[in-house]
Structure 1
Amino acid sequence: MAKKYVYFFGAGKADGNGKMKDLLGGKGAGLAEMSRSGVPVPPGFTVTTDTCRYYYSHGRRVPPELQAQFKDAMRKLEKVSGKGFGDPENPLLVSVRSGAKFSMPGMMDTILNLGSNDAVVEGLSALTGNPRFVWDSYRRFIQMFGNVVMGIDKSEFERAISAKKREKSVELDTQLDAADLRDLVARFKKLYREKTKEDFPQDPWKQLVLARDAVFKSWNNDRAISYRRMNRIPDDLGTAVNVQTMVFGNMGDTSATGVGFTRNPMNGAKEFFAEYLTNAQGEDVVAGTRTPKHIPQMAKELPECYAQLKSITSRLEKHYRDVQDFEFTVERNHLYMLQTRTGKRTGMAAVKIAVDMVREKLISKDEALLRVEPDQLSQLLAPVFDESQKKNATQVAKGINAGPGAASGRVAFTAEKAVELAKSGPVVLVRPETNPDDIEGMNAAVGILTAIGGRTSHAAVVARGMGKPCVVGCQALKIDPGTATMAVDGHRLKEGESISIDGFTGEVYVGRIPTLPSEIVRVLRGELSHKDSELYGVFKEFMGWADAARKLKVRANADIPRDAKAARQLGAEGIGLCRTEHMFFAEERLPLMQQMILSDNVVDRKKALDKLMPFQKEDFKGLFKEMRGFPVTIRTLDPPLHEFLPKTEAEAEALSKKIGIPAQTILAKSRDLHEFNPMLGHRGCRLGIVYPEITEMQVQAIIGAACELAREKIRIVPEIMIPLVGHKNELKHQKDLAIRTADETMKSYGVKINYLVGTMIEVPRAAVTADQIAREADFFSFGTNDLTQMGFGFSRDDAGKFIPAYLAEKILKEDPFQTLDQEGIGKLVEWGTSQGRKVKKDLKVGICGEHGGDPASVKFCHNVGLNYVSCSPYRIPVARLAAAQAVLESKKKSEYSSK
């Protein structure tokens, strides 16, 4: 029996159903289900996604069996509709629309009024007595067909329409009469001939086959490819093609067309949310060529159809148990539903709708948790621009959206200037790229903008950790440090002038745009009572369900008490990574750190470290207090020492005055410490082995802080983490030193503290020999940022130059610095975990790279049995939800396989 490629629907019946999205696409499955449910749907048929996949795998040819099935379906459509395809006396016109499994609004192509030709329009004019409607439909068809099938630019047709309106001295398309539209058809056909060197096809079957194949081709147009990449939709799904009997919203004032949602997709409110136009076709509403009317007005203009529409859409929502995005047409007071599909919504709306539907007993808590994309939760926490003001602002560039939120402020080109300007108002730090010694400026700024870098660049990682809006890789920026100016899109801005950045979209604007703080953040800060925030109540309830479902713990990457406090408020169960180097860049500490580095002997180094130790100890006490009873993992010094030293003569002179060492000596030492490949150089545990006094000071500060708080009856769980270990002997050296120092410190305080000494697994050799390293480690924490760098041999800071090409050429499916590479780096994580637990059954294992806040990576961590993930504070809700979804998805998979 031949494979079935065509599925019919109509007259209350359908070959398919709503569960067949893989085969029929979302639109086709929705039309089949509505038809089976008795909803008024114009009859038609769906050509399957299998056909599209065949089309691409066989040199853009359709299956041989399709032609007969296609013709049979058209004959059935003629019979059901009582009309003839190409029959001038009683013509059947159809629409041809795309419809993939996942909604891709506007990304692929649609053709309306197909079947129109010179003979049909004459017959249809006589049949309807409405020649204006007929010629309007014909000119729309030629325009769509010419653009979608033959690739003629839309603007060519629009210019012809504009010229005709000027001739007639009218402003709106609707003011053109039948004679005007007939003339436009002639002009369109002439344009078609000029561009294609052939006449517009009069054979309806030829039109239909060309249109069908054009929809298949549109699966791989540039915008569809980009949309799939942004939304992580696989490229091999293919699209279905829906051929459907035309119904006409442009047959006069008793006809209309519209689109809508069963609930508000912006804020989740339970309200009918729709727009419509009378005497129009569907494309008019979405194209914005006319201003649509709000749906309540339809109750006055077309009351019976309005009541029927509300009833049907309410029924559809209850049937699908989710918000529906629907399209409808009214033809001479008869309502027809053209589409229903799951409605896209903002993060705010997604959470509210999920909670409301549980309260309404439409869905279970588990279903609610699976309805919200984890990344959508970031939208609930980020500051937002006032949209009424944003639309009037001047956009000058677009980069990569790396940290969600909105920020406006004065431009600062250096960290120092950012600190200075921030004393008198908000600042946006603008840099070619950022590095660790920009930390104070980043902290002072309300937003960060860089000319180069990707979503895992230093700027992006730190900005997300701080919960600050960030746009990176904005190549249009031309920064001139010498004149403290930047040029972008014909504008030249001086330091101190204002810009605005949108971390949701990557857009950059000249001037300030007012921002509104996130309602949830205001509650967490105590600026708004939780009783006054419905959104916070919904968010808290939803996250409570996530916490009850998940098994994976979620910790935070936090370096200062303020970040730790924010992390706890957002649900962190400890700190998985405290980067101690950031503590050394503070103004009063950096000279001491630099003095230690510049010392020629151990005695002088220890003197400088002794002065630094109290600062470190107070930092750790602050973190421990915020994390009472939860584990705090503190990484010993990691970056190479040259990062702490001056790089210019002016900086060296300034330091010389502070510490009394000649500027030339300082620069010479900085040059001496400079490395050709610092990522693989003298850093991490290698520093602690060559300079053991550094590790000693840090352990003394950690254990000292814990001892002092223990005296105050505050429970502390310190975890000392040794970075960049590749060999078991490296860890043994540092662990022995840590234990000896900890014992001495506890003895001096007369207090006993329980603590752990573990390691970051970020060198591939460490993962491969994890069984050996586990003998010395109390815990593992996979540093997946560096593990990815070393595993791929990619420099994270330079990857932005070639990763986009890798994604475009499909060499990689995902940016491995954004989503963990499960086939390679993930195998190292899985192997390292299993090997470590062969030695120590209950070995605690987590990850602390940026992947800890990526939903797909979090789910992988659950599946391979990790104990926790650690991420930036403002990614914690994302990780909590992803961890819950991992449990629920595993449960569903298990239930399915057992059937």
Structure 2
Amino acid sequence: MTKWVYTFGDGQAEGNSGLKNLLGGKGANLAEMCNLGLPVPPGFTISTEVCTAFYENDRRYPLDLAAQVDAALRHVGTLTGRIFGDASNPLLVSVRSGARASMPGMMDTVLNLGLNDVTVEAMASLASNPRFAWDSYRRFITMYSNVVLDLDHHNFEDILEEFKDSKGFTLDTELSAEDWKQIVGAYKNCVQEKLGRPFPQDPHEQLWGAIGAVFGSWMNARAIKYRELHSIPESWGTAVNVQAMVFGNMGETSATGVAFTRNPSNGAKELYGEFLLNAQGEDVVAGIRTPQDITEAARIAAGSTKPSLEMSLPEAYAELVRIYGLLEKHYRDMQDLEFTVQQGKLWMLQTRNGKRTAKAALRIAVDLANEGLITREEAIQRIDPAALDQLLHPTIDPNATRVVLSTGLPASPGAATGAIVFTSEEAEQAVKEKRKVILVRVETSPEDIHGMHAAEGILTTRGGMTSHAAVVARGMGKPCVSGAGAIRIDMVSGTMTAGGRVLKRGDFITIDGSNGQVLLGEIAMLQPELSGEFGTLMGWADAFRRLRIRTNAETPLDARTAVKFGAEGIGLCRTEHMFFDGDRIIAMREMILADDEKGRRTALDKLLPMQRSDFVELFEIMRGLPVTIRLLDPPLHEFLPHEAREIQEVAEAMGTNAEKLRLRALELKESNPMLGFRGCRLAVAYPEIAEMQARAIFEAAIEAGRKSGAPVTPEIMVPLVMTKAELDLVKARIDAMAKMVGEEQGVELNYSVGTMIELPRAALKAGDIAKSAEFFSFGTNDLTQTTLGISRDDAGSFLGSYKARNILTEDPFVTLDQEGVGELVQLAAERGRRTRPDIKLGLCGEHGGDPASIAFCESVGLDYVSCSPFRVPIARLAAAQAALGKVTKAEG
């Protein structure tokens, strides 16, 4: 016979903490606390396997489950000296959910189960104050009716309010046993009227109704959404925990509370929590009464006049302190505890690893390691790399009032407040006037780079998590909310309509890129603070990781930010991003629109000193660290002038006819620019472009090396190659320029030339390409697009459906598609090494900052990943975890 039910109580349990998958987190930890000899009310756990069987068999239970539940109830009755359903000495139980992953508040609970019109009288006679029994009965009817019978809470709240009003009671009036008895009668009448049947009196019917409701709640809407957000598989199911009731509402020597063994906000080593005298568990979380502080120190710090648990119930408090120390040492982590004090005796109802902020997580991990409870390797693995975003960006003051106008996608973390502007030009002008602005657009394009750089944050009404706005904002470390489709922008009137309000240019809004909210007005911010624990943990991580971490950067600000966060070089400098500002874009457009080599060289002569000065500054900031510079890779439509004013500007600069330029721009317009005239194709057709950039790089390397004293060895990357022949043509121009500059300046240049692998053919022909390439950098943004045949900018309209139907488990532009794109990366790495064993291999797409993708890079032995500056700490930690995971797997 399959064992479905596991008992615990009186210092013994059939389970333990190692059976979390079978018993769920709550059940496993209740069993473990019993085994530790802690005061735990006896009970039993119905395993997660029953939940699985329940849904696989059209919501029917295994045939032998009922007999095992009856036997477990008798066992609990023996331990408590009570009998379930007995008219004179009844056993009351709680019924709670308990999945293997903590899902606080997502599923259902029923307390005081077993009360009916007979057993309530027995409980009243057994208690010193009969009020307690009738209070518990009305609580049970409310909770059971809501959870099991699907009657909304408000039905009972209305009855209670009407009763108090009719008696002239205030909100704080303590009701008598007779008052509660009348209310219970009204509650039962409500059930009869709403459902057409009486409130169930049979305790066994009540129990199976509650068990069914808990299993049913595994598939309620909020639980499904929580699992989706936290990647919890539906197949895990939940356990059901049935436990003898202990009562915190039996008078002033009884209480209920929640505590953490360390402060979950800042990680301080202190007992942290709240309790209520003469209350049951739901009172603490419902907020009906103001909770009291557990410790006297916390009470004094809060300025509260209500007594602490330490003063009110000193013996129970001393026992709680003893248990919290024991549990933290046993579990080797901060614990989240639930407890009840019944007439002076402390009972433990739950322990679990407590949820905490990123700031607290860092401090707790470092402190536990320093206290010897965990190793440094474990400390590193305790921190979610993605959670570090909380530490690196401003956040909204949690005490601030939020008026939500709309909600979009949390595209880039952090928060920002500023005046609304609708164009990049307005944003730039605002910065000159020292005004903070939010750039509000339907969608952004590469031409908005300067405006995005100037703005405090970006809000778009279209686009997904991998849209242009999202990707660029993350790279800049700026908050972004994308896809806020309920917002309407009217460029003519200069207004934005959201949440029933019309806001005009200059009105203030706040965006929260961590949750996607768009808020009205200016809201107070908290600036990021990197604690000493941050540096300590990053140092530990660096000692264990193998992968090097570089950054994607082309501005001095990005480069300095990345170095501050521990970047070990620049893995991708996108030179086309350097040409969107002011005179630069005009010169760039001159070069593109020129109809002969002479015209192009004239424009390139203007661009050369700009490029050279940019590279000098980057080389100086990186002080000898590797810098990979990608040659020009612009889809031409991003640079072509579209408006008459822009065409006129370029015409004047070139001394030519505006109409002629307009026609030339039309000639260059492409149907599919992403696969058009870009990358190495520009250098093949117009080698003078590569020559100018190579000269700028080499002259800058010489100048920066002389200034800083740190030798510069630039890495020049040729983009979008599909054949070795393309690379050879461009590389020949680079080599020739290196020789020319070296002879002009009397130096011997050290440099390397490689390529970006971003086309499937290049991955397949990597062995051949490696004959000429000294390094590969996998451009996984475009490699994903060209492999999957999906446009990153357009994928938002259907990727949600694909994820919902499990066609794709993750957004392939956020987490690398390891089975498809990943296989191409692995194949290219293997073939490249076969040709050139010392070839340097890196990844520089958006995936370079994604922990799951970093783990893949570690598994295939890449040398480095490159990511946006604000993701460098995330990548450092993820790389260490990947290395430790690899070691653990090998040892296992």
Q: How far did residue 799 of structure 1 move?
A: 1.4
Q: Is the Cα contact below 8 Å between 1:49 and 1:240 reproduced in 2?
A: yes
- 1:880-895 map, 5 Å: 880-895=876-891
**How far, CA to CA, are the matches of 2:454 and 2:585 in structure 1?**
17
Equivalent AA in structure 2 for residue 229 of structure 1: E
Among 764, 769, 772, which residue is 1:768 paired with?
A: 764
Change over 3 Å in CA distance of 1:35–1:779 after alignment to 2: same
Q: Is the Cα contact below 8 Å between 1:348 and 1:380 reproduced in 2?
A: yes
Among 586, 609, 626, which residue is 2:621 paired with?
A: 626
Determine if the alignment matches structure 1 residue 677 to structure 2 residue 686.
no
**How far, CA to CA, are the matches of 1:50 and 1:579 in structure 2?**
53
- 1:358-757 map, 5 Å: 358-388=369-399, 390=400, 392-422=401-431, 423-520=433-530, 535=531, 537-712=532-707, 713-757=709-753
**How far, CA to CA, are the matches of 2:576 and 2:182 in structure 1?**
74
Deviations 1:473-521 (A, max 9, x none): 222221111111101001111111111112222222111112232123x
Residue number in structure 1 paired with 2:61: 62
3-state SS of the aligned residue for 1:339? strand
Determine if the alignment matches structure 1 residue 872 to structure 2 residue 881.
no
3-state SS of the aligned residue for 2:8? strand
**How far, CA to CA, are the matches of 2:734 and 2:846 in structure 1?**
27
**How far, CA to CA, are the matches of 2:62 and 2:835 in structure 1?**
57
Change over 3 Å in CA distance of 1:776–1:128 after alignment to 2: same
Q: How far did residue 250 of structure 1 move?
A: 1.4
**How far, CA to CA, are the matches of 2:765 and 2:64 in structure 1?**
56
Determine if the alignment matches structure 1 residue 281 to structure 2 residue 283.
no
Residue number in structure 2 paired with 1:804: 800
**How far, CA to CA, are the matches of 2:391 and 2:211 in structure 1?**
41
- 1:254-273 map, 5 Å: 254-273=253-272
**How far, CA to CA, are the matches of 1:893 and 1:491 in structure 2?**
56
Equivalent AA in structure 1 for residue 522 of structure 2: R
State the TM-score, normalizing by the size of structure 2: 0.96
State the TM-score, normalizing by the size of structure 1: 0.95
**How far, CA to CA, are the matches of 2:179 and 2:659 in structure 1?**
83
Deviations 1:522-560 (A, max 9, x none): xxxxxxxxxxxxx2x221111100000100111101111
**How far, CA to CA, are the matches of 1:414 and 1:91 in structure 2?**
72
The count of aligned residue pairs is 878
3-state SS of the aligned residue for 2:17? coil
Q: How far did residue 348 of structure 1 move?
A: 0.4
**How far, CA to CA, are the matches of 1:568 and 1:602 in structure 2?**
39
- 1:197-236 map, 5 Å: 197-236=196-235
Q: How far did residue 659 of structure 1 move?
A: 4.3
**How far, CA to CA, are the matches of 2:572 and 2:657 in structure 1?**
37
Equivalent AA in structure 2 for residue 508 of structure 1: V
**How far, CA to CA, are the matches of 1:16 and 1:114 in structure 2?**
24
Q: Is the Cα contact below 8 Å between 1:555 and 1:871 reproduced in 2?
A: yes
Change over 3 Å in CA distance of 1:184–1:582 after alignment to 2: same
Q: How far did residue 171 of structure 1 move?
A: 4.5
Q: Is the Cα contact below 8 Å between 1:393 and 1:511 reproduced in 2?
A: no
Equivalent AA in structure 2 for residue 788 of structure 1: T
**How far, CA to CA, are the matches of 1:67 and 1:232 in structure 2?**
33
Change over 3 Å in CA distance of 1:108–1:649 after alignment to 2: same
3-state SS of the aligned residue for 1:328? strand
Equivalent AA in structure 1 for residue 523 of structure 2: I
Among 324, 343, 347, which residue is 1:336 paired with?
A: 347
**How far, CA to CA, are the matches of 1:619 and 1:97 in structure 2?**
62
Q: Is the Cα contact below 8 Å between 1:369 and 1:884 reproduced in 2?
A: yes
3-state SS of the aligned residue for 2:767? helix
Deviations 1:739-790 (A, max 9, x none): 2233223232222222111111111222222222222211111111112222
Residue number in structure 2 paired with 1:311: 322
Residue number in structure 2 paired with 1:523: none
Among 337, 350, 354, which residue is 2:365 paired with?
A: 354
3-state SS of the aligned residue for 2:583? coil
**How far, CA to CA, are the matches of 2:606 and 2:511 in structure 1?**
41
3-state SS of the aligned residue for 2:18? coil
Determine if the alignment matches structure 1 residue 159 to structure 2 residue 168.
no
Change over 3 Å in CA distance of 1:777–1:127 after alignment to 2: same
3-state SS of the aligned residue for 2:768? helix
Change over 3 Å in CA distance of 1:685–1:59 after alignment to 2: farther
**How far, CA to CA, are the matches of 1:279 and 1:658 in structure 2?**
82
**How far, CA to CA, are the matches of 2:880 and 2:108 in structure 1?**
37
Determine if the alignment matches structure 1 residue 237 to structure 2 residue 236.
yes
Quick check: 15-24 or 603-612, which moved more? 15-24
Q: Is the Cα contact below 8 Å between 2:858 and 2:879 reproduced in 1?
A: yes
Aligned-pair RMSD on alpha carbons?
1.8
Change over 3 Å in CA distance of 1:565–1:238 after alignment to 2: same
Residue number in structure 1 paired with 2:301: none
Q: Is the Cα contact below 8 Å between 1:165 and 1:173 reproduced in 2?
A: no
Deviations 1:681-708 (A, max 9, x none): 2222222222222222112211221122
Quick check: 560-569 or 197-206, which moved more? 197-206
Residue number in structure 2 paired with 1:91: 90
Determine if the alignment matches structure 1 residue 48 to structure 2 residue 47.
yes
Change over 3 Å in CA distance of 1:255–1:754 after alignment to 2: same
**How far, CA to CA, are the matches of 2:74 and 2:777 in structure 1?**
65
Equivalent AA in structure 1 for residue 704 of structure 2: L
- 1:173-212 map, 5 Å: 175-212=174-211
Quick check: 311-320 or 67-76, which moved more? 67-76
Q: Is the Cα contact below 8 Å between 1:555 and 1:876 reproduced in 2?
A: yes
Quick check: 647-656 or 759-768, which moved more? 647-656
Equivalent AA in structure 2 for residue 471 of structure 1: V
Residue number in structure 1 paired with 2:302: none
Q: Is the Cα contact below 8 Å between 1:646 and 1:666 reproduced in 2?
A: no
Q: Is the Cα contact below 8 Å between 1:707 and 1:746 reproduced in 2?
A: no
Equivalent AA in structure 2 for residue 639 of structure 1: P
Residue number in structure 2 paired with 1:118: 117
Equivalent AA in structure 2 for residue 57 of structure 1: E
Q: Is the Cα contact below 8 Å between 2:403 and 2:519 reproduced in 1?
A: yes
Sequence identity, in percent? 55
Residue number in structure 1 paired with 2:247: 248
3-state SS of the aligned residue for 2:674? helix
Q: Is the Cα contact below 8 Å between 2:96 and 2:242 reproduced in 1?
A: yes
Change over 3 Å in CA distance of 1:698–1:133 after alignment to 2: same
**How far, CA to CA, are the matches of 1:428 and 1:792 in structure 2?**
34
3-state SS of the aligned residue for 2:201? coil
Q: Is the Cα contact below 8 Å between 2:590 and 2:650 reproduced in 1?
A: no
**How far, CA to CA, are the matches of 2:155 and 2:658 in structure 1?**
67
Deviations 1:158-209 (A, max 9, x none): 3333333333344437633333333333333333344444332222222222
**How far, CA to CA, are the matches of 1:206 and 1:887 in structure 2?**
54
Q: How far did residue 84 of structure 1 move?
A: 0.9
Change over 3 Å in CA distance of 1:50–1:728 after alignment to 2: farther
Q: Is the Cα contact below 8 Å between 2:586 and 2:649 reproduced in 1?
A: no
Q: Is the Cα contact below 8 Å between 2:680 and 2:730 reproduced in 1?
A: yes
Q: Is the Cα contact below 8 Å between 1:165 and 1:176 reproduced in 2?
A: no
Quick check: 215-224 or 343-352, which moved more? 215-224
